[in-house]
Amino acid sequence: MSRSVSYLNNAEFVLYFPFENEYNEEGEYDNDLSQMNWDDTIENLKAEIKAKLPSYYEVDLWDNRETRIFLQNNLCNIGISEYCGLVSLSVAVKDDTWNDHFASHHAGQIRPILEKIVDDITGTRLIHKATASNGEAFFERAI
């Protein structure tokens, strides 16, 4: 079975968007430029999310195997993961929160804010439509 991009365990929601690698003038993959572009994307996401949702602060944690938690508040974690040019931005209720229902409601409230941030920064948000039995996922562009 093929792999897909990872996201936070027990995520309330997941937003997807493409990430383009960078190539040099000869058309060869440029690892340094791609890494710089990825780092810039992460920093831009952090800055915009913190500006619009000031209760979130920076952390550097890992959930499951491949999802980096880069922002959190007292209720939720925000994580990011990338695989083969597909990025997931996911929000999950923290395990140690005092009220799961309130935290889940909060996640629902911030979803449209995060959707707008992803749209503004990346220009393309994707919607997961289905997954085939072999693990291949199908997406369409969000309108």
pLDDT of residue 133: 86
pLDDT of residue 96: 80
* Alpha-carbon distances, residue 2 vs 26, 59, 73, 84 (angstroms): 31, 30, 34, 12
Can you read off the two tokens belonging to residue 102? 């309130």
pLDDT of residue 3: 59
Can you read off the two tokens belonging to residue 75? 């209720």
From the first residue on, what is the mean pLDDT of each consecutive set of 10 residues in the chain (143 residues)?
76 94 86 92 97 97 90 97 93 88 96 97 91 86 85
Alpha-carbon span 143 to 141, nearest angstrom? 6
> pLDDT of 52-63, one tens digit each?
999 999 999 998
pLDDT of residue 2: 42
Every domain of the chain and the residues it spans? 11-141
Closest residue by Cα to residue 112 from 44, 46, 52, 45: 52
